[in-house]
């Protein structure tokens, strides 16, 4: 099969488009033919190398998301699944521990993510547990479907499961131009929240408004905290949807209303956010961590794509052979939404 593999960490130049052995599905697994797979910031971090993290076995295939069809099945999997169009849930636990049995598989000590700890989806074929198959929503083509898994699952878990978003909530979504930011805007609006989005340009701010945001802040020339105070009549927001990290962290905390919560799923600009603990105490704020989401949550999301209430946001499509170029494009932060690799 054709695949994009890396043999060590570094820049996009470490990615090689080449022939690789076809994977073989084991018990309970399917062989999945990838039609489209998107890029996530996790791919960038994994390619560059994460400090303090053990590298996956090399050569390694990146890629967390995929849309395509079942090409084969392993022992114990019904043959009727062959030919089924689906997307892949990118993460899974052991299935047997107390967290998995309670539907909180992201807390499983053996939780793994395709393209992170395991060979990923930037290849013609990938092996995954059969239980990770999610039927393709009828409104979506493969390119659109390949762009929704990780970011919408992350945004849903952050806002719905962890943040408790609902009618009357005011949500600050950082980095509206990112894949997870564009998903966060839609999920917050789906639940009746008012959304204030930040973007690094007026053009991205305009696109955020078109996507449903009520207000947009140009973070390259406006102070996020002061603009939030102005837009909320000095009240602040109930939820901050944080994934930018070090650069925005102080403004994110200062943007919260008393009793508000900051939910974070990452730190793309750095892991060390300056925090005045006295401010957290006096305003009774919450800082909550969020990582991926459960299969049940992904299944809950899918009907909203079928109805059109949620939609993928695809900025640019590259071929699999152009994966290094796609990485450079994503690292340049030029996109609004998702960057997708089309394999067919």
pLDDT for 139 = 86
Any idea which architecture 152-289 has in CATH? Alpha-Beta Complex (3.90)
Q: Which residues contact 159 (CB under 8 A, 6 or more apart)?
A: 165, 171, 184, 187, 188, 191, 239, 241, 263
pLDDT for 140 = 94
pLDDT for 138 = 87
pLDDT for 335 = 95
| Maximum distance among all Cα pairs of the chain, rounded to whole angstroms | 61
pLDDT for 93 = 93
pLDDT for 53 = 75
Using the 8-state DSSP alphabet, how is residue 22 labeled?
P
- Residue ranges of the chain with per-residue pLDDT less than 50: none
One fold for 2-148+312-342 and 152-289:
yes
Closest CA relative to residue 248, chosen from 178, 336, 148: 178
Classify domain 2-148+312-342 by CATH number: 3.90.180.10
Cα separation values, 143 from 17, 68, 89, 195, 307, Å:
20, 9, 16, 27, 18
Q: In the chain, where are the structural domains located?
A: 2-148+312-342, 152-289
pTM across the whole model: 0.96
pLDDT for 55 = 84
pLDDT for 10 = 96
């Amino acid at each position: 099969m054709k695949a994009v593999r890396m043999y060590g960490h570094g820049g996009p130049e470490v990615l090689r488009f080449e022939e690789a052995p076809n994977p073989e599905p084991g018990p309970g697994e399917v062989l999945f033919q990838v039609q489209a797979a998107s890029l996530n910031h996790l791919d960038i971090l994994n390619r560059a190398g994460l400090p303090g993290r053990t590298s996956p076995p090399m050569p390694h295939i990146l890629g967390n998301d995929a849309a395509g069809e079942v090409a084969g099945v392993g022992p114990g999997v019904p043959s009727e699944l062959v030919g089924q169009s689906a997307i892949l849930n990118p993460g899974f636990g052991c299935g047997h521990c107390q967290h998995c049995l309670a539907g909180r598989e992201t807390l499983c000590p053996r939780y793994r993510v395709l393209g992170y700890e395991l060979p990923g989806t930037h290849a013609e074929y990938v092996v995954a547990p059969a239980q990770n198959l999610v039927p393709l929503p009828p409104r979506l083509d493969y390119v659109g479907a390949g762009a929704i898994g990780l970011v919408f699952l992350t945004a849903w878990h952050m806002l719905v499961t962890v943040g408790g978003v609902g009618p009357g909530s005011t949500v600050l979504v950082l980095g509206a131009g990112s894949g997870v930011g564009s998903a966060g805007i839609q999920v917050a609006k789906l639940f009746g929240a008012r959304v204030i989005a930040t973007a690094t340009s007026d053009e991205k701010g305009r696109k955020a408004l078109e996507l449903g945001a009520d207000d947009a802040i140009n973070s390259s020339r406006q102070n996020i905290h002061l603009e939030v105070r102005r837009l909320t009549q000095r009240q602040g927001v109930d939820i901050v949807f944080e994934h930018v990290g070090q650069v925005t962290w102080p403004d994110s905390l200062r943007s919260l209303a008393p009793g508000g919560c900051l939910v974070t799923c990452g730190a793309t600009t750095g892991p060390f956010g300056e925090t005045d603990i006295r401010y957290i105490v006096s305003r009774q704020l919450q800082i909550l961590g969020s990582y991926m989401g459960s299969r049940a949550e992904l299944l809950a999301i899918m009907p909203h794509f079928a109805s059109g209430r949620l939609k993928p946001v695809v900025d640019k499509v590259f071929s699999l052979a152009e994966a290094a170029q796609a990485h450079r494009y994503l690292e340049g932060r030029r996109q609004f939404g998702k960057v997708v690799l089309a394999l067919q």
